[in-house]
Amino acid sequence: IKKIVTAPPTPMLSFSPCKTRVLQLLRPPSNPPLADFVRKELKLAGARLDPNLRAPSKMTSYLGMSLVPLTELLPPKPGKDMPITGIPEKTGINYASWSPDGKHIAFFLRSTDGETEDEPFSLWVASTETGEARQLLETPKYYMSAVFGTYSWLSPDEILVSVVPSGLDHGAPPTKPVVPGGPLVQVNESTTSKQSRTYPDLLRDEYDCASFEHYTTSDLVAVKISTGEVKPFSDESRIYTRMSPSPDKKYVIISYIERPFSYAVPCGRFPKRVELWSREGEMLREIAYLPLAEDIPISFNSCRRGPRDIQWRDDKPAELVYTIAADEGDPKVEVEEGGERDVVYKVSASDFVSGKTPEPFFHTDLRFSGILWCNDDLAFGWASWWKTRRSVWYQFSPGSPEKPKEILFDRNYEDAYSDPGVPVTRKNKMRRSVLATFEDDRYILLEGEGYSPKGNHPFLDLFDLQTRTSKRIWESKDPNYESVGSFMCDGDGEDFALDDVSFLLSRENPNEPSQYSTISWPNGFDSEPSEKLLSDFPHPHPDLKDLQKKVLRYKREDGTDLTATLYTPPGYDAQRDGPIPCLLWAYPREFKSKEAAGQIRKSSFTFSYIGGTSPLLFLAQKYAILDGPTFPIIGEDDEEPNDTFVKQLVTSAEAAIDKVVELGVADRNAVAVGGHSYGAFMTANLLAHAPDLFCCGIARSGAYNRTLTPFGFQAEERTIWQAKETYMKMSPYLYADEITKPILLIHGDEDNNTGTSKIQSERFFSALKGHGVPSKLVLLPHESHGYRAKESVLHCLHEMEVWLERYCNVVGEEASARQAVAPKL
């Protein structure tokens, strides 16, 4: 297991804008040492910051970079790539990106030498012609601020950067008072409902507010790559969160956070101003002021009042677009069919500066989610609704808002089999992603996962917008799993014909990792495609190369079709070897119908990447792994899924165990259950309500007491006061006295996931211990909801291995006898 977990990772790849070269970034070890995570960390306003680095905390960095021509196979042989040189030793690379013309690569650099590693990032740039890197902004005068925004390209030769004000001389950080100045007081005198989920790391006092303001405040400067000339861009220091240049680079959308802050919600809901600035840094006009948002309803499809999704139109030089909720962001407001729930507005930047008011050009009676632009005559818009799982895909003419929009697809988004795919996009001359069309906008390409009763087979369709018919031009072929990625023919931003189409293709199978190729149809789509291999990456874990994988289909007692992936160790034969210990690892999900819940959403031919804390690692210890068996929690029509959560959970588990026992792979008395987060919640509930199904359980980073998440959790919209019985029934903490099987609890000591604070595991363990339940609690230092440090990951796996060895390592009569008597620690 250790050998697999500590194997070197494959490099990160980034294609140049012209699609002729690849930037290869050398990843650090997948699980860095714990010492990397003990740096000072501030937990403020829902964010976790490294106050010295002025960036999100616990960041890892790339170790090196090189450029590889697409004519060479990846990973390149020695001497076939161009290393980026001039980078000091013992430094880490972050935020690397290509310039729009592909002639430079910008990146942030941090020290890892143990002496100056407390300094913030510096800005560097490398020439892609020579591979030579140089520091672009001198330090300590210009340190980078990476808490919210980092940098944006104003042109191929100029970068807009967020920097720490006046180097590090913008004032000493706040000092926490030794003696409190008084009590912490929160008052609510409003009769308006202000509900929110259990957000972690919120501000608690004025010291926190001052600290948040100090470490997130930045200035904006513009720097020329060719000359190194630096110009101030912002007129004052603020908490800048976004800087988005227009496609023609003549304007910039700037947003920043203001006081008053809140002790009840994270910084994403703090007051925010969004402004339109000139290319030279002059504030031209305010786009929106968004006040503090503490009263956004907790229901799904809720949103903030005022303009949202403020962005540039991708097919125009400089046209602003934003959406306003006509229902004030409250999904409980009734809107008639065809009415206005969300309205989308647009205005050119020049007209907006001149005082023109944005005009509406699109509306929907659902919650709007986005637009894919093409031109004034063609664009696609999407909207959806949670309660009905409805998704609508509109076609409309942005330049003629008087023309009625047409519905291209109207479907239930839970119905995977009806998914038409998504439109393929290309880069235009302004390097923005727009809809790819052919033959005067008649045809588009759709690529999708191709879900079906035979498993998913990714596809590429040619769709006729006039006849609304599609023609399949490519589909993944068994026994491989193949999928198309981005265009490889749009490097110059010019239009291209169907005959010139080429894509990035990935291909894998259960025993071979994904490799990349380019795929094209030089003789038309009716002919066989042509391929050129781009990579030949080695197998990441050869010791498990011959693992066996099978997608299973079976039914629950209510007739719902279920799916699971069964993995068995290399060389295992059920008829020859008989049953072996089995670990079931799952995560429940909610559905509105049995039909949708029963659909297959996986392939037998995908490669299984194993690492971190994956349960598949225990194939190396000769366990069978039933991975991802579906545990659908169904609520049809007006039914609430969670009202029958426990019953559906138990019957799903029973069906899964029956299937692996029927296959002769597992012994009914030697099946362990485990899961992470909501899967841990599932594990505890199964041990509480189905004590005879499993021999033991492993629950990582879960929540077990739903009274601690009173304003909703997961897909539950109701509060505890609206569904008391459901909240209580779903809380395994309240059934600790009915649990008899051993349960291992693992939790990150600094879990910042909403609803899964470590107190959940601490209190649950106390309850288990108080009722004599064999149990163990492991708190991993400096870890959050997922575990990252090498020591943490290996210790987590060690605890799991020992637990399984102790309680799930035998089959036959011995396992039956163990099930009959609750084991004691």
| Whole-number pLDDT of residue 184 | 86
Dihedral sign computed on CA atoms, order 787, 789, 793, 796 = negative
Among 599, 239, 660, CA closest to 414: 599
- Joined together, the tokens standing for residue 741 give 């099987």
Residues 6+ apart with CB under 8 A from 467: none
| Whole-number pLDDT of residue 197 | 83
Q: Using DSSP, state whether 800 is helix, strand or coil.
A: helix
Which residue type, as a one-letter code, is found at position 416? Answer: A
Transcribe 383-413 into DSSP letters: EEETTTTEEEEEEE-TT-TTSPPEEEEEEET
| Whole-number pLDDT of residue 187 | 86
Q: Where in the chain is the domain with CATH 3.40.50.1820?
A: 542-820
- Beta-strand (E) ranges in 386-511? 390-396, 406-412, 422-423, 425-427, 433-435, 437-438, 443-448, 459-464, 469-475, 481-487, 502-509
- Joined together, the tokens standing for residue 534 give 């781009």
39, HSE (Cβ side, Cα atoms, 13 Å) = 22
Q: Where in the chain is the domain with CATH 2.120.10?
A: 1-171+198-239
Among 699, 796, 801, CA closest to 756: 699
Rounded distance, CA 644 to CA 647, Å? Answer: 6
Residues 6+ apart with CB under 8 A from 33: 789, 790, 791
Residues 6+ apart with CB under 8 A from 443: 437, 462, 463, 464, 465, 498
Taking the CB of residue 662, how many other CB atoms lie within 10 A of it?
11
Rounded distance, CA 127 to CA 117, Å? Answer: 26
State residue 542 phi and psi, 5-degree precision: -60, -25
Please give the CATH superfamily to which domain 542-820 belongs.
Answer: Alpha/Beta hydrolase fold, catalytic domain (3.40.50.1820)
Tell me the whole-structure pTM to 2 decimals: 0.94
Rounded distance, CA 439 to CA 389, Å? Answer: 34
| Whole-number pLDDT of residue 168 | 58
Taking 50 as the pLDDT cut, the residues of the chain under it are 822-825
| 140 cis-preceded (ω within 30 degrees of 0) | yes
Angle of CA points 484, 487, 488, to nearest 5°: 110
Show which residues are catalytic.
677, 751, 785
3-class SS string, 295-363: CCCCCCCCCCCCCEEEEECCCCCCEEEEEEECCCCCCCCCCCCCCCCEEEEEEEHHHHHCCCCCEEEEE
Owner of token pair 């997961």: 714
| Whole-number pLDDT of residue 824 | 42
Architecture in CATH of 1-171+198-239: 6 Propeller (2.120)
Among 774, 773, 766, 761, CA closest to 803: 774
Rounded distance, CA 702 to CA 678, Å? Answer: 6
Which residue type, as a one-letter code, is found at position 120? Answer: P
